């Protein structure tokens, strides 16, 4: 069986600079996904035109900048992440080359071979966030799993997380002792209670 060797990471996008190239439906989808997860994300979108839905979305987020122009190499300067979301495969390849030359992580929409990272399907319940990846094989399966998990995880979990955080802050001892105690307390969540 083939394994997924991707390393899951959660970025603090309010501390990074994100470039999205493409103002159509795919660009809108990517920007929307970013903002759903991090409303304070700093996103610059470069495109020769913008779908009305993207313009409306950007209007509600002060850290989103729409720049109407053709992509140029300088657009990557100072960026931490790049998403190429144009309908032009040749342009997407050019953006990929420029990002790689600048040592900037890039995702080329619908082209797994040109992606340093994928935007996973996300389940969120309060402070809990779970990202689902199919290693680029089937975003549709990831979407369906998200729906199942969203329904399966109780809304009351946020209160549990809040209480466990307070308990963790009050625990005494070294790191190993704290981990042991928290493992004992949370074992009931997976049916492993004594």
* R_g of the chain, CA atoms, integer Å: 20
Distance between CA atoms of residues 36 and 31, nearest Å: 9
Neighbours of 38 (CB within 10 A): 19
Q: What is the mean pLDDT of residues 46-55?
A: 99
- The model's confidence at residue 193, banded by pLDDT at 50, 70 and 90, is low
Distance between CA atoms of residues 23 and 174, nearest Å: 51
CATH class of 13-119: alpha beta
Q: What is the mean pLDDT of residues 116-125?
A: 92
Distance between CA atoms of residues 65 and 119, nearest Å: 20
* Range(s) within the chain of domains with CATH label 3.40.50.720: 13-119
- End-to-end distance of the chain based on CA atoms, in angstroms? 35
Fold of the CATH domain 121-153: Double Stranded RNA Binding Domain (3.30.160)
Least confident of 13-22, 63-72, 97-106, 110-119: 110-119
pTM of the model: 0.88
Mean pLDDT estimate for the chain = 93
pLDDT at 67: 99
Q: Provide the 8-state DSSP code for 125.
A: E
- The model's confidence at residue 98, banded by pLDDT at 50, 70 and 90, is very high
H/E run at residue 42 = strand 42-47
With a pLDDT cut of 70, the percent of the chain lying above it is: 98
| Three-class SS state of 23 | coil
pLDDT for 69 beyond 90 = yes
pLDDT for 123 beyond 60 = yes
- Quick check: 63 and 43 in contact, CB under 8 A? yes
With a pLDDT cut of 90, the percent of the chain lying above it is: 71
* Range(s) within the chain of domains with CATH label 3.30.160: 121-153
| Three-class SS state of 115 | coil
Q: Provide the 8-state DSSP code for 116.
A: S
Distance between CA atoms of residues 63 and 106, nearest Å: 20
pLDDT for 194 beyond 60 = no
Q: Are strands 81-84 and 105-108 parallel, antiparallel or unpaired?
A: parallel
* Both structure tokens of 174: 């070294």
């Amino acid at each position: 069986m083939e394994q997924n060797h991707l390393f899951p990471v959660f970025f603090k996008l309010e501390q990074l600079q994100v470039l999205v190239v493409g103002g159509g439906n795919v660009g809108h989808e990517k920007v929307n996904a970013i903002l759903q997860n991090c409303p304070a994300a700093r996103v610059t979108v470069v495109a020769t035109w913008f779908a009305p839905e993207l313009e409306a979305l950007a209007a509600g987020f002060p850290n989103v900048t729409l720049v109407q122009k053709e992509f140029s190499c300088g657009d990557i300067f100072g960026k931490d992440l790049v998403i190429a979301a144009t309908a032009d495969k040749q342009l997407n390849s050019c953006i990929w080359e420029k990002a790689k030359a600048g040592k900037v992580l890039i995702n080329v929409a619908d082209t797994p071979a040109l992606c340093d990272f994928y935007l996973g399907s996300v389940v969120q319940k309060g402070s809990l966030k779970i990202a689902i990846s199919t290693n680029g094989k089937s975003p549709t399966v990831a979407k369906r799993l998200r729906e199942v998990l969203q329904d399966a995880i109780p809304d009351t979990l946020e209160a549990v997380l809040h209480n466990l955080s307070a308990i963790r802050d009050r625990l005494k001892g070294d790191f190993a002792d704290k981990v042991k105690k928290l493992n004992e307390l949370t074992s009931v969540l997976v049916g492993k209670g004594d």
